[in-house]
Amino acid sequence: MMTEISLNVLDVAENSTRAGASLVTIEVNISHPDDTLTVVIKDDGCGMTEEQVQRVIDPFFTTRTTRKVGLGVPFFKLAAESTGGHFHIESEPGVGTTVTAVFGLSHIDRMPLGDITSTIHNLIVYHPDTDFIYIYRYDGAEFTLDTREMREILGGIPLNAPEVAGYILEYLTENKQETDHGAVI
């Protein structure tokens, strides 16, 4: 099993890019009043049939040819459910996929969120042709990063240009700090 939720986010978002998504939205919502940590990853990729959705949560199914098992999604599901939370995949061929994982925030078996800032940064930098919307909420406070807006401001400068990539990391780091005041989740 993965050791932090941010690695599950990375795995699912990577699946989105492989599915041809041009836009991936990642929402992380921490709510102490509701005692939940919710992660939603939505894409506009190729989507899946109901049969494919059922198969993707099976650890002995994978579309990859490099290995015989696909543990990322099943472990993400298990991690959420083992905290009293739940997991759901909604998908439609030709439209896209939405993965929702809800964790019991204070549950002893909940993995830490991990370095979500670096995860989002790496997704943006290593998938420069994919747009990302990242929304981080902490007890009602929130910030959003939308690479479409950044592209508009930057003109033709790629998001993985060193100066831009450095700015994106700084933006993510500072805004997370302002939103959650440095809380370790």
Beta strands in the chain (DSSP E): 23-31, 36-43, 86-92, 96-104, 131-138, 141-146
Quote the tokens at residue 143: 């910030």
Element of type H or E holding 18: helix 5-18
Phi/psi-derived region of residue 181, left when phi > 0, alpha when psi is between -120 and 50, beta in every other case: left
Mean of all residue pLDDT scores within the chain: 92
Phi/psi zone of residue 57: left (φ > 0), alpha (ψ -120 to 50 degrees), beta? Answer: alpha
Q: Tens-digit pLDDT profile for the chain (185 aa)?
A: 558 999 999 999 999 999 999 999 999 999 999 999 999 999 999 999 999 998 888 776 555 555 444 458 999 999 999 999 999 999 999 999 999 999 999 999 999 999 999 999 999 999 999 999 999 999 999 999 999 999 999 999 999 999 999 999 999 999 999 999 999 89
Q: What confidence score (pLDDT) does residue 86 get?
A: 97
Q: Which amino acid is at 156?
A: G
pLDDT at residue 69, rounded to an integer: 42
The pLDDT of residue 67 is 43
